[in-house]
Amino acid sequence: MKRLLCAFLLAASALSAAGFEKIFDGKTLNGWKLVGGKGPGYVVEKGIIVCPADGGGNLFTEKEYSNFVLRFEFKMEPGANNGMGIRAPYEGDAAYKGMEIQILDHDHERYKGKIRDVQKHGSIYDVIAAKDGALKPVGQWNKEEIIADGRKIKVTLNGKVIVDANLDTVTDPAVLKKHPGLARTSGHLGFLGHGTRVEFRNLTVKELK
């Protein structure tokens, strides 16, 4: 028991020293706000945030973030569809009013021939496509890091950089009109559930100056 406690304290100390803070206490959804929830919304199960198959909606941090490093782990069921909203407002579609980093089992049969590259996992949804090939098989935990630093957005999945983009390179007037959120400099982080089970754990954020 003492060894476990020491290990926990060492891990917490290392996290703090690196400048990261936990944004999920492992027990409750304190510090989070459900917007447009469906069914049970999101629940906590054994230290994990779960978007149930009969739930979903948007679960946002109450705090807003501008420039940051976000780290988390996720596990999907077959055909799962969710997203990580960044710099998002509470109101409107976070994928357009803010930005959405897609979370999707894009190789599932239900999506074959029906989605574009800019809709695959890790993509800045409907704007910049992510590189393929880094997702682990369904049912396994994936580690993801999202860095938002000014106009630069970088997504690393299981150690592989799948997006390394400068938003200033997005110049198509139609895209900019459709995605006013690309111009936002601050907003909430949040899960954007679509009625499939996705689990999340080990959520930490480091704010950048």
Q: Are strands 68-76 and 142-149 parallel, antiparallel or unpaired?
A: antiparallel
Number of separate domains in the chain: 1
pLDDT for position 136: 97
Q: Is residue 7 part of a domain?
A: no
pLDDT for position 6: 46
Q: Is residue 138 part of a domain?
A: yes
Q: Is residue 66 part of a domain?
A: yes
> What would the pLDDT profile of 82-137 be if each residue is shown by its tens digit?
999 999 999 999 999 999 999 999 999 999 999 999 999 999 999 999 999 999 99
CATH of residue 39? 2.60.120.560
pLDDT for position 8: 45
Instruction: Tally Cβ neighbours within 10 Å of residue 100.
Output: 25
> Which positions ≥6 away from 76 have C-beta within 8 Å?
82, 103, 105, 138, 139, 196, 197, 198, 199
pLDDT for position 18: 86
Q: Is residue 14 part of a domain?
A: no
Angle in degrees, CA 35, 87, 84, rounded to 5: 65
Structure tokens that stand for 195 in this block: 């009625």
pLDDT for position 193: 95
Segments of the chain scoring below 70 in pLDDT:
1-17
Taking a C-beta distance cutoff of 8 angstroms, is the pair 135, 144 a contact? no
In which domain, by residue range, is 29 found? 21-207
